[in-house]
Amino acid sequence: MAAAEAPLSGVGWTATPEAAPAGWTVITVTAEGAAANLGKGFGQRSGGYICVRTGGGQDAPVVTDVQVLSERSPQPPGYTRAPEFPEPRSRKKRLYVQVVPRAAATTAVCDLQLSSKTKILPHYMKIGEMGNFAIWCKKKEVPKPSPPPIPRPRTISTGMRQLLLHPPDSGDINQFSSAPGPPCPAAASQVPLSTSLPAPFMASQPWMGSLSPCTPNSSPNSAPVLTLSLQT
């Protein structure tokens, strides 16, 4: 019997246990423990063993059904004749398997067993008879791969949220606005004390502010200048 409970990926014939390719398991005994060599006899021109294959990864196809039909029966649609090792032989009864992609399968064959014709195997389904044996299969649901994990949304702490959303206090703005600025640089807006502007000109320019004294960062002998504050 096939010991593996994983979905089968192949079912075939082999003339001898040694003739089965690597990766195939030969069913050499029946459920009662007798030799499972089908042998020559009624409905069987050539002897041999049934073998099965499992594995192949998550992308490997799986066997969803197995049928035992006579050589005169037409091949069922969607089924293929089971391969034979080392070469095909003439048989009155043939094995046909249905193989589909794993993603498209809901159930699959996970085990095959042989027994005497009078034996009943619980949890197995009889698919036919060959020689002196009854052939049974067991099916189960095909496990599906788990979906990828969904990333959890990142949470922002209360302190970080307040830091991002809370506007600065007015006191903070006043603190920055009342802070003394750097020394006045010498620029075009600074006018020497000796320079006087006519009063009519000052009256006609409302955007001009008051003149305040400022001493630039220069040598001690630098002349004091007036800073002209522009108001708009």
Torsion-angle region of residue 128: left (phi > 0), alpha (psi -120 to 50) or beta? left
Distances (CA, A) of 214 to 25, 162, 227: 101, 42, 6
Q: 10: closest CA among 71, 82, 102, 58?
A: 82
Q: From CA 4, how far away is CA 17, in angstroms rounded?
A: 17
Q: Is the pLDDT of residue 185 over 60?
A: no
Which pLDDT score, from 0 to 100, does residue 121 have? 96
Looking at per-residue pLDDT, the higher value among 171 and 129 belongs to 129
Looking at per-residue pLDDT, the higher value among 155 and 27 belongs to 27
Looking at per-residue pLDDT, the higher value among 206 and 128 belongs to 128
Q: Is the pLDDT of residue 226 over 50?
A: no
- pTM recorded for the entire structure: 0.59
| Highest mean pLDDT (candidates 38-47, 112-121, 200-209) | 112-121
Q: From CA 165, how far away is CA 60, in angstroms rounded?
A: 54
The chain-wide mean pLDDT, for the chain, equals 76
pLDDT band at 215 (very low <50, low <70, confident <90, very high): very low
Q: Is the pLDDT of residue 187 over 90?
A: no
Q: How many residues does the chain have?
A: 232
Q: From CA 136, how far away is CA 139, in angstroms rounded?
A: 10
pLDDT band at 144 (very low <50, low <70, confident <90, very high): confident
**Phi/psi at 37 (nearest 5 deg)?**
-75, 115
Which pLDDT score, from 0 to 100, does residue 21 have? 93
Which pLDDT score, from 0 to 100, does residue 106 have? 93
State the DSSP code for 103. G
Q: Is the pLDDT of residue 13 over 60?
A: yes
Which pLDDT score, from 0 to 100, does residue 146 have? 72
Which pLDDT score, from 0 to 100, does residue 10 have? 95
Q: Is the pLDDT of residue 42 over 50?
A: no
Q: 2: closest CA among 73, 51, 61, 57?
A: 51
Which pLDDT score, from 0 to 100, does residue 27 have? 96
Which pLDDT score, from 0 to 100, does residue 98 have? 97
Averaged pLDDT, 114-129: 95
Mode of pairing for the β-strands spanning 84-85 and 8-14? parallel
Q: From CA 231, how far away is CA 212, in angstroms rounded?
A: 14
State the DSSP code for 42. T
Which pLDDT score, from 0 to 100, does residue 114 have? 96
Averaged pLDDT, 92-96: 90
Which pLDDT score, from 0 to 100, does residue 91 have? 77
